[in-house]
Each structure stands twice: as C-alpha cells, then as structure tokens.
Amino acid sequence: MLYRRPRGVNDILPDEVGRWQQAEATFRELCRLYRYEEIRTPMFEETDLFVRAVGEDTDIVGKEMYTFEDRSGRSLTLRAEGTAPVIRAYLENSLQGQDRERLGKLYYIAPVFRYDRPQAGRYRQHHQCGAEAINSAEPEVDAEIIQLSLHFFHKLGIKDVTLLLNSVGCPVCRPAYIEALKSYAAPHLAHLCSDCQRRYETNPLRLLDCKNEQCQQIMENAPILRDMLCPDCAEHFAGVQQTLNILGIPYTLNPTIVRGLDYYTKTAFEFVAPGLGAKDSIGGGGRYDELIEQCGGPPTPAVGVGIGLERVLIAQEAANAT
C-alpha cells in the first residue's frame, strides 16, 4: 500500500524549494545586517516550558500542542512557538554573560507544530523565522524589530504590507482594563460564541480578536486598552510611534491586536498582506517584559517577532501576480 503524509502537513518539493531557500537566505542576510545571531534550539522541549510561557488558558496550550511522553515518562512538546525555547536557551547557557547592559539579539528559522484546523497557509508543521531582542526596554528596539520584518517582506517583493499596532499594557494597567472589558461584555454574553463565553472567564483579552462576525460586532464598541495605559506604558507606546514616524514606517492603530499568547506586554503588532484572508497575518510579535522572569531568569525586558514562512510565500506569490 502507498502511505500518505499525515493530515495537515506538507511536502516541500524540488520545484518549490528554491523559493524557500531564497526567503531563508534573505532573512539570514538581513539578520546579519541588523546584527542578530542565529540560535538553533531542539525540536522539542519540556511541556512545562510552553505551559508556563504561553499560558494555560491559551488556544496553543489548551488544544494545539503536540505533547507526548518519552520512554521514561517525561512530558515533552514539539516546538509550539518560537520565543520560549530561545529564552530557555538564553538563560540556560548564560548568553547574557557578565555584561548587565548587553543586548542579546538572536534569530531562528525553525518548524513549529500546532494541532490546528488545516487551511491555506496554516499547517500542523509550519515554518517560522523570528528575531528576539533581549535586555532592552527602549521603544527604539521595538521599532527596529518592526523595521527588520518590513525590510524582509519588501526584499521578497511583498510591498503592500500593513502594520497593525497596539499596546496590551502591563500588569499595572491591564487588570483594570480587563475589569472594564468584562463589564462591557457581560450583558452580551449570551450572544457571544461558545469560545468567547469560555474566554470571558479564562482569557478575556481574546474577546477582542475573535474571528466570529457577531462577536466582532458586539466588541466593536468595547473599551480600548490604549486609552487606559499606565504612564509607563503610555510613554513607551508614544516612543514606539515616534520612532516609527522618524523611520517613515506607516502603521494603523488597531485595538484588536492582542496576540494569542499570555506573555505579551506593551507593544503588540501584526503584519497583514494581500493574498491571505483579511485577518490572517504573515507575522507579528511584540514586547514580553515579564516572560524571562517567569521562566526563572532575572527581570529582563525583551521584544520579538515571528514570521510564518508559508504565509510569506503565499503573499509573495500574490504580489508577483499583480
């Protein structure tokens, strides 16, 4: 009998692989230019790393991870997202070194595994290139990560990219916002989708980025986190916008960009390009100032981006066709 590949995964055939090599080479070249160094982490990690970093009440941890027990009964998980393994390796190998001021700039190109409903550009094994800038709280570094990403898209001929920008606040200002959001949503609860009814309890921020049309309509007039930021977050967000303005990078403020992971603080952003569904981004990221401490390290601010290579190649094809 002939075997077939498992559902939701893809073969990259010889006549397509040239485009992959070109995209990967372009990303490497840009990372060299921006002085990011490559890091390669294992394909799997202890399950607890992803649970702790990404958050228990997220889609990823709740239903999308490829988790298995090895022969000694350890719970392991195939790389479920790009950032947590890099942070784990950064801490474990003391890449910070003796220099407390040192900015760690790392990049990776790696497969990511999610038990997701297969659809265009979404595979159960997909490929991500990403960059992390560790140990700076400066808004200029957020802007640099965004600039690097856009530089990458433009070099591949994807010119028509929209940058959606938001701030998701921090542990100081977010709790009050969550309360405001929940009191806004409470009277509408019966009309929200079943996912949102669950999120209302477990992860209310995600009410804002539900793909269900009725949920979107209901949440259209929800309070906006950007208006409730603490002085520190507000100042940082203004700094990011100011730097983008200086760099001539246009952006659209969008309060629904909250990302699916718990670890984001302050800046959150996504890149949207024609050729994919309207809400399907080709990449995104943000700041995660709490994550490194959560992973057992010293308090260390950081910001990063993850870019989906499959989606970038679809967007590139669409850009070349026009």
Q: Using CB under 5 A as the criterion, which residues of the chain lie in contact with Zn ion when the complex forms?
A: 169-170, 172-173, 193, 196, 210, 212, 215, 230, 233
The distance of closest approach from Cβ of residue 119 to Zn ion in the complex, given in angstroms and rounded to an integer, is 18
Cβ 80 to Zn ion, closest distance in Å? 23
- The type of residue at 315 is A
Among residues 79 and 174, whose Cβ is nearest to Zn ion?
A: 174
To the nearest whole angstrom, how small is the minimum distance from the Cβ of residue 196 to Zn ion? 3
Question: Taking CA 225 as the corner, what is the angle to CA 223 and CA 226, rounded to the nearest 5 degrees?
Answer: 115
First to last CA, the chain: 43
**Shortest Å distance, C-beta 193 to Zn ion:** 3
Closer by beta carbon to Zn ion, 10 or else 256: 256
Contact by Cβ (8 Å): 126, 114: yes
Q: Which residues of 264-298 are buried (b: 16+ CB within 10 A; e: fewer)?
A: bbbbbbbbbbebbeeebbbbbbbbbbbbbeebebe
Considering the complex, what minimum distance in angstroms separates the CB of residue 187 from Zn ion? 15
Cβ nearer to Zn ion, comparing 233 with 273: 233
- Sheet architecture: strand order including 265-272: 37-38, 104-113, 125-134, 302-308, 281-287, 265-272, 162-167, 252-253
Report the relative pairing of strands 265-272 and 252-253 from DSSP bridges. unpaired
Specify the residue, 14 or 231, whose C-beta has the smaller distance to Zn ion: 231
The DSSP 8-state label assigned to residue 274 in this structure reads T
Q: At its nearest, how many Å lie between Zn ion and the CB of residue 166?
A: 13
Exposure of 112 by Cβ count < 10 A (0-12 exposed, 13-18 middle, 19+ buried)?
Answer: buried
- Shortest distance in whole angstroms from residue 138 CB to Zn ion: 16
- In 10 A of CB 201, how many CB atoms? 9
In the complex with Zn ion, the residue whose CB is nearer, 114 or 206, is 206
C-beta closer to Zn ion: residue 11 or 213 = 213
What does the alpha-carbon distance between residue 322 and residue 315 come to, in Å, rounded to a whole number?
11
Nearer to Zn ion, 10 or 212 (CB): 212
